[in-house]
Amino acid sequence: MKIHRVGFQGERGAFHEQAAAKLVRQPFETVPFPTFPELFRALARGKIDYAVAAIENTLAGSIHENYDLLLKHRLPILAETNVRIVHNLIAAKGVSLRSVRKVYSMPIAHRQCTVFLEKHRSWEVVPYYDTAGSVKMLTEKKVTDSAAIASAVAAEHYGGHILAKDIGDDPENYTRFFLLGRKLEHKPKPRGVKTSLVFITRNIPGALFRCLSAFALRDIDLTKIESRPLRGRPWEYLFYLDFLGNPKDVAARNAIRNLAESTEFLRILGCYPAVE
């Protein structure tokens, strides 16, 4: 059996790796990348077989960088999954809560743990490129006055010690992840799938209404719509849209055909299942 190379942003033990374990149901080799652009480029150039990329969080909203990268690279969405984000305060072994003076993590993790951090105002909050990467750094350097905010998996992987569990502000903290490939590998099932697309429409009265009515008139459920600035055309936008259904269904096929009549650019990004 071929061992696929699966890339993700961050270090081993990151939430992206947990998503990869759900999305790739067979043995795989993890390939961490420091940034999302490097991850997308590696997949586009065939250096990895798949990529796992976060696309939105229930508290922080959409990850706009990855929406832009989806448009730049023609990499189809193969599947999606949701991962509950459980933040923990982690330090090197032997470090106590009383000795902590600095807390490292990604800025988004700091923001999602403000209630806990407010109880420790004397601590310096230090931004770092990755949650798991901050644990890796502290344990490898044996830092004795600092802790990191990351997953329990990161603590286990790097031999860290959890000082405080589940310190996030909101228990309903989930991140949605995409599994991306270089090409479609099989036809999506006709039921239980979602379709993502992106389009540009003219900036005239009623244009967006006409685009969305193509779905509303056919009782197609839209699950998300996101606008992003259209480069080179100030104050104009392109729109990312998700709907429940398969483009090969009669209603969806007609809706997309109708949408194409009202747009100047349209691309289907993927039709894919949700992995629990």
* Separation of alpha carbons 198 and 180, rounded Å: 16
For residues 84 and 172, give the distance between their C-alpha atoms in angstroms, rounded to a whole number. 8
Find where tokens 């269904």 sit: 249
**Residue 178 annotated in active site:** no
Task: Kindly report the three-state secondary structure assignment for every residue of 94-130.
Answer: CCCHHHCCEEEECHHHHHCCHHHHHCCCCCEEEECCC
Q: Which CA distances in Å does 207 have to 158, 203, 214, 220, 263?
A: 53, 7, 11, 19, 9
DSSP state for residue 187 in the 8-state scheme: P
What is the layout of strands, in order, in the sheet containing 102-105? 124-127, 102-105, 146-150, 88-91, 161-164
CA 263 to each of CA 112, 214, 238, 243: distance values in angstroms, whole numbers, following the listed order: 38, 12, 10, 17
Whether 177 is a known active-site residue: answer yes
Of 15, 33, 36, 177, the active-site residue reads 177
Of 30, 81, 139, 175, the active-site residue reads 175
**What's the half-sphere exposure (Cβ side, CA atoms, 13 Å) at 84?**
9
Which amino acid makes up residue 181?
G
User: Looking at the annotation, which residues are catalytic?
Assistant: 175, 177
